[in-house]
Amino acid sequence: MAGVKDYVNNKVRENREQVEHHIAEILKLIGEDPQREGLLETPARVARMYEEIFAGYEVDPRDVLGVTFDENHEELVIVKDIVYYSQCEHHMAPFFGKVHIGYIPSGKIAGLSKLARLVEAITRRLQVQERITSQIADIMVEVLQPHGVMVVVEGEHLCMCARGVKKPGSKTVTSAVRGIFREDPASRAEFLSLIKE
Ligand SMILES: Nc1nc2c(ncn2[C@@H]2O[C@H](COP(=O)(O)OP(=O)(O)OP(=O)(O)O)[C@@H](O)[C@H]2O)c(=O)[nH]1
Ligand SMILES: [Zn+2]
């Protein structure tokens, strides 16, 4: 077992050193001096930050929802205002906002914190907002087999605020609707009104 652990540790160290090396190269290419005092530790900091903001690659989001309980509650459950930070895959610039998840269980409920962990596992990668939204809904369906799932994601994209078209404050809202929420406008309306409060 120690062999596997050593192998993993070596791989992590090797990856980190590679990232540090390339960040130092990028610093030169943008006209900076990676040897100046303020920047000496920057490549190492960026490498550590990447491990954190891209930690989702180490997690199978299906496993995160692993803790489920059998329960007869077959009414709407909502966890709203789950804050996320992700990186857009087009520019590697941050986007962030809130996720709201509602589902109607059919016998299996998830630990509430596991929904927030699911959001972390899916957002801590290079992403587009639409895929975050549909992946959350699809994994909820796969693992919990609920009567329905509805996911709304709000996002502010720095690639749209700080550069390019420069529209600070603009928000992107995406939704994914599965199961009973598709056929039943009253369920959709209930979810939407409850996440607004
Ligand atoms: N659909 C979608 N688009 C995104 C997301 N994040 C960033 N984008 C968009 O990806 C697009 C990439 O367009 P390109 O024309 O290839 O890139 P660009 O020249 O940098 O475009 P501008 O941002 O318009 O300056 C832009 O329109 C971004 O707004 C996302 O989560 N979903
Ligand atoms: Zn972008």
Domain assignment present for 86? yes
pLDDT number for residue 2: 67
161 a catalytic residue? no
Domain assignment present for 162? yes
- Sorted by sequence, the CB contacts under 8 Å of residue 103 that are 6+ apart come out as 76, 77, 140, 144, 146, 147, 148, 149, 150
Instruction: Give yes or no: residues 39 and 112 share one domain.
Output: no
Strands 148-157 and 94-104, how do they pair?
antiparallel
157 a catalytic residue? yes
pLDDT number for residue 135: 98
Domain assignment present for 62? no
Residue % of the chain over a pLDDT of 90: 87
Look over the chain and give the mean of its residue pLDDT values, rounded to a whole number: 95
User: What's the CA-to-centroid distance between 119 and ligand 2, angstroms?
Assistant: 19
Instruction: Give yes or no: residues 95 and 174 share one domain.
Output: yes
Instruction: Give yes or no: residues 91 and 14 share one domain.
Output: no
pLDDT number for residue 145: 95
162: domain CATH number? 3.30.1130.10
Domain assignment present for 59? no
Q: Which residue, chain included where needed, has tokens 């205002």?
A: 81
Instruction: Give yes or no: residues 34 and 101 share one domain.
Output: no
Residue 56 DSSP symbol:
G
Domain assignment present for 134? yes
Instruction: Give yes or no: residues 173 and 90 share one domain.
Output: yes
Instruction: Give yes or no: residues 145 and 81 share one domain.
Output: yes
Which of 32, 91, 154, 161 is the catalytic position?
Answer: 91
Instruction: Give yes or no: residues 147 and 121 share one domain.
Output: yes
25: domain CATH number? 1.10.286.10
Which ipTM did the prediction report? 0.87
* Each residue's pLDDT tens digit, 37-78: 999 999 999 999 999 999 999 999 999 998 788 888 899 999
Atom of ligand 1 nearest to the CA of 128: 31
Name the pTM for this structure: 0.92
Give the ranges where the chain is alpha helix by DSSP (H).
2-29, 42-53, 61-64, 112-123, 129-144, 158-161, 180-183, 185-196
Instruction: Give yes or no: residues 157 and 92 share one domain.
Output: yes
User: Domain count of the chain?
Assistant: 2
Please report, for the chain, how many H helices and E strands are present, in that order: 8, 7
Parent domain of 32: 2-53
Domain assignment present for 177? yes
Which of 21, 22, 73, 90 is the catalytic position?
Answer: 90
Atom of ligand 1 nearest to the CA of 127: 31
Per-residue pLDDT at 183 exceeds 80:
yes
Confidence grade of residue 1 (pLDDT, cut at 50, 70, 90): low
Instruction: Give yes or no: residues 44 and 71 share one domain.
Output: no
159 a known binding residue? Answer: yes
pLDDT number for residue 42: 98
Instruction: Give yes or no: residues 133 and 88 share one domain.
Output: yes
Instruction: Give yes or no: residues 22 and 88 share one domain.
Output: no
* Each residue's pLDDT tens digit, 126-175: 999 999 999 999 999 999 999 999 999 999 999 999 899 999 999 999 99
Domain assignment present for 125? yes
